[in-house]
Every structure is written in C-alpha cells, then in structure tokens.
Structure 1
C-alpha cells in the first residue's frame, strides 16, 4: 500500500472566464489548460466555473445573511478551490462586467478569495488583453489574492499564423507551451503558500 507521504498533492483550480461567449478565445485558453492538466501537468485538476448564472450584484438580494442560490453555489466553488485561473478578455481597457460581478459576489463577507494563489491569461487584439490583467491585479490587492508574476501570458489572437480554430480552440503549439508554464508556476506557488 502506498504511504500517504508518497502521494502527490492535487491542486484544485477554479477556472473563471470573463467572456460569456462559448467560442471565445478566452474560453479556448481554459479548455486548453484543462487538456494540459490531463496530458502534461501532474498533480493539478482544473474545474471551469461558469459565471453566467450570477445575477448582477445587488445587496437587496442578500436576505437574512443568505445569498441567492446561484451565488451560494459559486461562492462554495471558490471557497473549496486551492487557487484560481482567470481568463480575462479586455473590454475598454478593463475587465468585463461579468467577471467584475463574479469577483464582487465572492468578495462579500466572508471574502472567499482570500489568501489564495491566482494566475491570469488573456487573448485578444493588440496587447492580447493585457490591460485587463492590470485592473484584475489591482482588485486582487484588496481581495488578498496572490497573483503569480511570471510568466505572463498575453496572446494576440489575430496574428498569423492562426492561434485558434473556428470554434475558439487554441491550436498554436508555442502558446500551449507558454500556457503550460503558467500552470506549472501557479501549481508551485499554490503549494508554497500552503506550506508544502
């Protein structure tokens, strides 16, 4: 029988996409990250957490210390995760409204983001969604989230050769390797924060 000490810890990751469009490039990054954990990143399991059912933040919906059912489910998934992978598209130099809404719901007392590791990836035009990452990092300061600093992952989705197929799946080998490096850094930092 294998001893408990020889078992590798599993890092449970909640993956959150700021785009609600199923074929979005940022959804493609999350799908690729999930595939990578099954192929070449041991000891890590990623669960995609859908933020589309969340109502817009309104504290009138908090009744007798309880949140709406969709919010309660979301908060539990965040609470039970070891760390987070954000796929953050850039809208108007910032994060998307659905992503900010999800962040704010999970920060309501008690803040379920606190003292956990996180990484951000993004795909888009120009700077590849990079400006949204800076805004998300600023929110993370108040949330007590600990973002990995390196490697960074911004991907210009419109450069040639194509980075994604017609269904939004990541097909660029170099980008997949960069994404794998992000996952390995997130795993290492999470275990470090947990004292392992």
Structure 2
C-alpha cells in the first residue's frame, strides 16, 4: 500500500450595468507567482534560523518518505544557511480520544511532547505516502491531536513531499492541503515534489535519497519553504 516571487500581476476589469444607467465598477484581481529559488539561501539573514518540524506519515523505518526526511535534514545541514530541520516522531501517539484529555486541558505525555514540537517550529515539512488515495491514518491522527485547542498548526508555513506509487503520492498531497485549510496551515504552492518510489527504487539506498537530480528538487522545496516562512514572519 505504501511506497509508498519578481511578482507578476494579472488584472481584469469587470463592468457591471445597473438599472437604466451604465455604472462601471472595477474589480481588480491580482495573482502572483513565486519566482523560482535556485541558489543557496540568497539574501537570507544568517541570524534568522528557521526551525522546521518534519513529520512523516509512514511509521516504517525503511519508508521512502522517511528517506526523504533524512535527506532533507542532511541537505539543510550541508547546503542551506539558516534552516534547521528536526524529525518529529508520531509513532507513540495514541489514537485520538478526547477522554484521554485532562479536565485541566492537559494531554497524554506523548501528545504533549508532539504538540510542543509543532508549537516551537516555525514551519512544517510533511512527507506523506499515499494510502488508498489519501493520507495515512498515523498522519491524520497526529494532525488531529495537534489541532486540539489551542491549534498548534495555525499560521505556520508548510511544504509536502511524497514518495509513493502511481502518481507519486499526488492524491495524498491534495488531501493534506485540503486538511490544511481547516488548520490554517499555509502550504507553498510551488515547487512540487512527487516521486514514484516503486518504479524507481534505485533513487534510494537503505536510508536516503541518493539520486542527485531529485536531491536538487528536494533542496528547491526547502529553499521555497524557508523563503515563504520568512515572508510570513517578516523575520
């Protein structure tokens, strides 16, 4: 089942006829497209360190998606200034059950620890395998626990990468983005990262992504996430 911005503005003017006269109302609709980021942390203040919580939807140690997380951590250490990625394990989280919450609003220890990691992060990197056209149960469970009041995900930048069969996890990514609307998570739109790990196992060794072209694509995701986080926080 597993594996598993120069800005460009476009303006349109709509004329609306009202009653006997012709009154013009102008509505300006602007859209921007992020410019591709292709170099090493250009114009990033080195005193601004973006902390990224990396969450993997697969619990399997040899998961291709875990490989993506490990490779992202290595890339951030070796070639991106001002970006720190920490893998946050979700395997110890109990199934969501409000009965497990204390009357004082406390959570089970594993949940408290997970929520703290998310709250302390500036942004989130998801590695999401595709299970039955959607995200995995462990990932949804983690998302739901951290969304309990106060919502730990709110107003954070996020990015998602996937290594899965068929469409490379694309359908799971779009489900995750839909969930993000409810969470007030702000996903980067471009670039995107989908990888069919089943058809290209040679792109991985036992623990990491080894294909140089795909590692460069993964780096582009991290640079875009870093830049978008700084824009949101005006750091």
Deviation at 1:7, TM superposition (A): 4.4
Deviation at 1:168, TM superposition (A): 3.9
- Which digits, 9 at most, give the CA deviation of each residue in 1:52-75, with x for residues without a partner? 010000000011111101000000
Q: Does 1:56 align with 2:111?
A: no
Match of 2:178 in 1: 138
Deviation at 1:157, TM superposition (A): 1.0
Q: 1:55 to 1:188 in 2, by over 3 A?
A: same
Cα distance in 1, alignment partners of residues 198 and 210 from structure 2: 13
Match of 1:105 in 2: 145
Match of 2:165 in 1: 125
Unpaired stretches in structure 2, ≥5 consecutive residues: 1-44
Q: TM-score by structure 2 length?
A: 0.79
Q: How does 1:28-177 map to 2 (within 5 A)?
A: 28-64=67-103, 65-160=105-200, 162-165=202-205, 167-177=206-216
Find 1:181's aligned residue among 220, 224, 227.
220
Equivalent residues of 2:70, 2:207 under 8 A apart = no
Match of 2:21 in 1: none
Tell me the number of residue pairs that the alignment of Structure 1 and Structure 2 aligns. 190
Unpaired stretches in structure 1, ≥5 consecutive residues: 1-5
Point out 4+ residue stretches in structure 1 off by more than 3 angstroms: none
Deviation at 1:104, TM superposition (A): 0.1
Q: TM-score by structure 1 length?
A: 0.94
Rg comparison, structure with higher value:
2
- Which digits, 9 at most, give the CA deviation of each residue in 1:32-56, with x for residues without a partner? 0000011111110000000001000
CA RMSD of aligned residues (A): 1.1
